[in-house]
Structure 1
């Protein structure tokens, strides 16, 4: 029987896989909740409960608020709010795997913007090809909602801003930055959700348990597992594995929601994943070479 105790790298890979499955399972649960509650209500409750759970896990009361750089925290929180709200609005109109693929262009664009390798044009070309393949040309029965696509691309743009904002010094730890950023995001979405018809029934025990499950699957569990996994994974391994999220999303949507994709859309997912893996590899390789040069010249 295979033991993982003496295989920290393999254990980390398994934890990261569970984290990704958890995130994409939360997407399928959110789509089920859309049948009973407005989309922004689901988004607001997810951020509200996630922020409370993470505040306890990361002991938010230990923050030295005098050190907080609120400009960085607010920009991070706004990006987080936009990413969550727009993504939920996109999966309300699109299959989960398709929405995640369009959204994934955001972080991929950030990586390609900073990459300067000879293979960069190959990854850009593959990403563009993947986007083209996502569209079910001449198949009206599988047509994609253009508003849903716009929401997914908007979520991807917010994801890109989220990455950039998350790299700015916030004066506190990364975990505490996530906590405060999620509170800011919740404060942005909650008033809109209340204005557009958020019902107090969401706090009834029979409904609240589903929202707590959503918060755990979407944030608390994956954040915690990723923190443990990162101790034994390189940035290359982490980035490469995260690249398969569109495929996990598509499988989750197919198994739980019965969302079927065309053959060219599965090919599109494979193309975008390949572009992301390739970009991750060349970026990390360039970073190591730069660090090596810096060491030899210093």
Structure 2
């Protein structure tokens, strides 16, 4: 049974911030870089057992996946360093900013321009980004945002390559697991003596780096990059809902209005390939 591409994106969006919201609760036991490391290593193990991506390895594939893996390692590490210092909604809003550029690059009609403006306006109303918190948190948040845009470029290219997207993702995640070892290894050591934290970290990895990234590949294979980039504007809305359910952060009326604008923008947009 073939599902519509937006359904895969919804699956990705649901888990995109669900895993990190639980990761925030782990920071009292394991440092942010340690949680990021466990997330990547557990995802890499799942992909390695499931896909055995080295079977399709070529010289060109290796070079591309090395860069993609470096992006994944740096993106996840900077994201966790950011949410350890800033509210999740603020990081979500900053993460969306470079994606606006990717969406704008694919704009072809007035209808899509209106859709983009509605989505951007919704994100602004929803998050009400304020320069508060630790300055270093914003450095990591903006670094994560730039890396997230690169992730979309690499992931979309892999998804459109003719069916090898998930194998490419698997190989990139294995590479990320190796690259993140010197960064998160020290902070991950306490998890060895804490089975509950270790199990929770593995759960975060599966819900944050396996389920959403696979859903991304399934969606990107059938969506233009600009359309997918615009749909990413749903992520701050997802962050608000996740914050309500997991972190008990009730949205204000303005935030609810922002969610409505974001959904309207995605609904109005007309995709093209």
TM-score range, shorter chain: 0.7 to 0.9
Alignment counterpart, residue 78 of structure 1, candidates 46, 59, 70? 70
Q: TM-score if structure 1 supplies the norm length?
A: 0.72
1:58-137 alignment, distance < 5 Å: 58-63=51-56, 65-119=57-111, 121-123=113-115, 125-126=117-118, 129-130=121-122, 132-133=124-125, 134-135=127-128
Partner of 2:44: 51
Instruction: Kindly indicate whether the alpha-carbon contact (under 8 Å) linking 1:68 and 1:171 is maintained by their aligned counterparts in 2.
Output: no
Task: Tell me the alpha carbon deviations over residues 37-59 of structure 1, each in whole angstroms, 9 at most, x when there is no partner.
Answer: 11111111111111111111222
Matched, 1:192 2:188: no
Aligned to 2:148: 159
> Could you list the per-position Cα deviations for residues 72-98 of structure 1 after superposition, in whole angstroms to 9, with x for gaps in the alignment?
212212221222122222222333233
Taking the aligned partners of 2:219 and 2:120, their CA distance within structure 1 comes to 30
Q: Tell whether 2:135 aligns with 1:175.
A: no
Residues 34, 92 of structure 1: 8 Å contact kept: yes
Which one has the largest radius of gyration? 1
Residue of structure 1 in register with 2:197 after alignment: 207
Deviations 1:156-185 (A, max 9, x none): 211111122335578992112112211222
Q: How far apart are 1:28 and its partner, in Å? A: 1.3
In structure 2, the gaps of 5 or more residues are none
Q: Relative to structure 1, is the Cα distance of residues 135 and 97 closer, same or farther in structure 2, using a 3 angstrom cutoff?
A: closer
**Can you give the 5+ residue segments of structure 1 that lack an aligned partner in the other structure?**
288-298
Contact 1:136/1:265 (CA < 8 Å) preserved in 2? no
Q: CA deviation at 1:33?
A: 0.8
Greater mean deviation of Cα atoms: 116-125 or 215-224: 116-125
How many angstroms does 1:18 deviate by? 4.4
Q: Which residue of the other structure, out of 219, 223, 231, is the alignment partner of 1:235?
A: 223
1:230-289 superposed Cα distances (whole Å, 9 cap, x missing partner): 59x9538x94765433222211112211224444444445445544555xx34x24x4xx
The 2-side partners of 1:93 and 1:266 are apart by: 25
SS of aligned partner of 2:86: coil
Cα gap change, 1:124/1:222 in structure 2, threshold over 3 Å: closer, same or farther?
A: closer
Deviation, 1:31, is: 0.5
Q: Deviation digits for residues 111-149 of structure 1, max 9, x if unmatched?
A: 212323334554554455456543367xxxx95555434
**Runs of 4+ in structure 1 displaced over 6 angstroms?**
12-15, 169-172
Aligned CA RMSD, in angstroms, stands at 3.6
TM-score between both structures, scaled by the size of structure 2: 0.78
CA distance in 2, matches of 1:171, 1:161: 20
Counterparts of 1:61 and 1:136 in 2: how far apart (Å)?
43
Structure 1, 258-267 or 245-254: larger mean CA deviation? 258-267
8 Å contact from structure 1 (residues 72, 168) kept in 2:
no
Give 1:206 deviation, angstroms.
3.2
What is the number of residues matched between the two proteins?
266
